[in-house]
Amino acid sequence: MAKQLENLIYGIRAIIETIQAGKDLEKVFVQKGLKGDLIKELLNLAHERTIPVSTVPIEKINRFTRKNHQGAVALVSPVQYHKLDQVLPGLFEQGLTPMILMLDRITDVRNFGAIARSAECMGAHAIVIPTKNGAQINADAVKTSAGALNFLPVCRERNLMDSLRFLQDSGLQVISCSEKGKQLMKEADFTLPCVIVMGNEEEGVSPEILSLSDEVMQIPMTGQIASLNVSAAAAMMLYEAANQRLEYNIK
C-alpha cells in the first residue's frame, strides 16, 4: 500500500469534509458492520457524488494505515471527474462533433491509461467509465496515459445503460466494437456524433449494451490469434474514426 499513502485520507469526518470541499475520491473503503449517523452521512454523500464504496474486513483497512481510521479510508483521485450531462452540451456549444469513448468493465489500470493516451491523440472528447467494475485511476494510470488524463475529461457514471440512452437522445450513434459484429469498422460513419464502446478482454461489450447499440463493428483480423489486447483494439477503432474525421475536417 506504500504507493497509495500519499493520496490516502482516513477517518469518517475527514473523508466527509474532503468530499464536501469538492475533492474527487477514487474509492472509499468502509469496515464491514460499521454503523452510526456519521457513517450513514458518508455513504449518502458518496452515493450522491457517484464515489465507489467497498465494504471490507477491518484487516484490509488496517493494511492501509494503523492510525485512528475509525473504520474508513479513502483514496483521493489524481484526476478531476466530470459529469456527462455537463460535458456533452459544452461540446455542442463549441461547435464540435462529439466523439465519446465508453469503456465497459475495463479494469486493468495500464490498459486504461494506454486507451486514454490513444483517445486524446485521436481526438476523442471524453471517456465514460462506470462507477463500479472500472479501472482505478491512480498514478500508474496517469503515467501510462503519458499525461493524457490531464487533458481528456473522464466521466464516471453510475449506470452505463442510462448514459447510452442519454447520448442517443442527444443525437449520438452508439458504435460498439465486438467480434460479434457483422460489419467491419471502416463501414461505420464516424463523422457523425458518436460514442465508441469498448468491452473487457474476457467478455467483450456486455449483451445489454450490444442490444442498445446502433452499430456493432468488428476489427478485421487474418492471423491465428482470435483477439486483440483491448488497448490495441481501441487504438484501431479510434484511428479509423480520426482518419474519417480528418478527411472531412471534422473536429
pLDDT tens digits for range 121-172: 999 999 999 999 999 898 889 999 998 999 999 999 999 999 999 999 999 9
Question: What pLDDT does 2 receive?
Answer: 37
3-state secondary structure the chain: CHHHHHHEEECHHHHHHHHHCCCCEEEEEEECCCCCHHHHHHHHHHHHCCCCEEEECHHHHHHHCCCCCCCEEEEECCCCEECHHHHHHHHHHCCCCCEEEEEECCCCHHHHHHHHHHHHHCCCCEEEEECCCCCCCCHHHHHHCCCHHHCCCEEEECCHHHHHHHHHHCCCEEEEECCCCCEEHHHCCCCCCEEEEEEECCCECCHHHHHHCCEEEECCCCCCCCCCCHHHHHHHHHHHHHHHHHHCCCC
Question: Degrees (nearest 5) of the Cα angle 215, 220, 221?
Answer: 145
Using DSSP bridges, classify how beta strands 173-177 and 53-56 pair: parallel, antiparallel or unpaired.
unpaired
Question: Degrees (nearest 5) of the Cα angle 97, 95, 151?
Answer: 70
pLDDT tens digits for range 64-122: 998 999 999 999 999 999 999 999 999 999 999 999 999 999 999 999 999 999 999 99
At residue 224 the predicted structure's pLDDT band, cuts being 50, 70 and 90, is confident
Q: What is the average per-residue pLDDT within 21-47?
A: 95
**What is the Cα–Cα distance from 71 to 68, expressed in whole angstroms?**
8
Q: What percent of the chain has pLDDT over 90?
A: 89
Q: What is the average per-residue pLDDT within 17-26?
A: 94
Question: What pLDDT does 136 receive?
Answer: 86
**What is the Cα–Cα distance from 29 to 56, expressed in whole angstroms?**
7
Spatial CA neighbour of 113 closest among 137, 92, 94: 137
Answer for the pair 129, 107: CB distance below 8 angstroms, yes or no: no
Question: What pLDDT does 129 receive?
Answer: 97
Over 70: is that where the pLDDT of 4 sits?
A: no
Question: What pLDDT does 226 receive?
Answer: 72
Q: What is the average per-residue pLDDT within 18-43?
A: 95
Using DSSP bridges, classify how beta strands 183-184 and 53-56 pair: parallel, antiparallel or unpaired.
unpaired
**What is the Cα–Cα distance from 195 to 98, expressed in whole angstroms?**
8
Take residue 54 and report the three cell numbers written for it. Answer: 467497498
> How high is the mean pLDDT of the chain?
94
Question: What pLDDT does 225 receive?
Answer: 84
Using the CB atoms, write b or e for 157-180: b if 16+ within 10 Å.
Answer: beebeebbeebeebebbbbbbbee
Which domains are seen in the chain, by residue range? Answer: 2-76 (3.30.1330.30), 81-247 (3.40.1280.10)
Question: What pLDDT does 28 receive?
Answer: 97
| pTM, two decimal places | 0.92
pLDDT tens digits for range 236-248: 999 999 999 999 9
Over 80: is that where the pLDDT of 6 sits?
A: no
At residue 5 the predicted structure's pLDDT band, cuts being 50, 70 and 90, is low
Over 50: is that where the pLDDT of 178 sits?
A: yes
**What is the Cα–Cα distance from 161 to 159, expressed in whole angstroms?**
6
